[in-house]
Chain A
Amino acid sequence: KAGVTQTPRYLIKTRGQQVTLSCSPISGHRSVSWYQQTPGQGLQFLFEYFSETQRNKGNFPGRFSGRQFSNSRSEMNVSTLELGDSALYLCASSISETQYFGPGTRLLVL
């Protein structure tokens, strides 16, 4: 089975712009979670979607949003980018309480 894929792998944006990241889960996985990873804060949970519904949400501002489509693919959007949003964004799909991670999208905000 193919693993979790994330696109794009790298992104450079400027402050104030918005960005959309995409995640395709492992076939058959209905849950997708998103994490932000930075050297200072470590791995922080953003949100989780299951069957197109947000089931869990972390402690991030409303600028961070997501959605899930009927084929379980998920997107996350960050509006009005700030310098502090520079991070590795990881997506994980899960089945039976086990999460499998994609390679991440490296976002740099200038």
Chain B
Amino acid sequence: AQSVTQPDIHITVSEGASLELRCNYSYGATPYLFWYVQSPGQGLQLLLKYFSGDTLVQGIKGFEAEFKRSQSSFNLRKPSVHWSDAAEYFCAVGAGNNDMRFGAGTRLTVKP
């Protein structure tokens, strides 16, 4: 079965600084990969997804992620973080038929 590891439980960055959130997956075939964001007490919002094709995918709110098959990674990046980006971020891997596994999440704090 597929699995996801988000090595960083909590990350703090200054507003305006760049951001990279790490995600490593384990799956035998080419996976479906996702990043979601969750604000406190809310549901998860889809930021971006990768199914195939160009390994650099653009998402909403200025986020992007790069699929690296050799490293089994799908890291999320943003060039300049805004205070409103403070939230929890989840990486997920799908194996088809909506069989998805989520990482434990990375909580992002943004310093003024």
Contacts and interface: CB of A to CB of B under 8 A. Distances in A.
Interface of A: 4, 31, 33, 42-43, 45, 48, 50, 55-56, 88, 90, 92, 94, 97-104, 106
Nearest to A42: B104
Contacts of A56: 97-99
B90 interface: yes
A77 to B, nearest CB: 20
A88 B43 CA distance: 9
Nearest to B99: A56
9 contacts: A4-B43, A42-B104, A42-B105, A50-B98, A55-B97, A92-B44, A98-B46, A100-B46, A101-B46
B102 interface: yes
Interface in B83-104: 90, 94, 96-102, 104
B41 interface: yes
Nearest to A6: B43
B71 interface: no
Given A42-B102, A42-B105, A43-B90, A97 B96 contact: yes
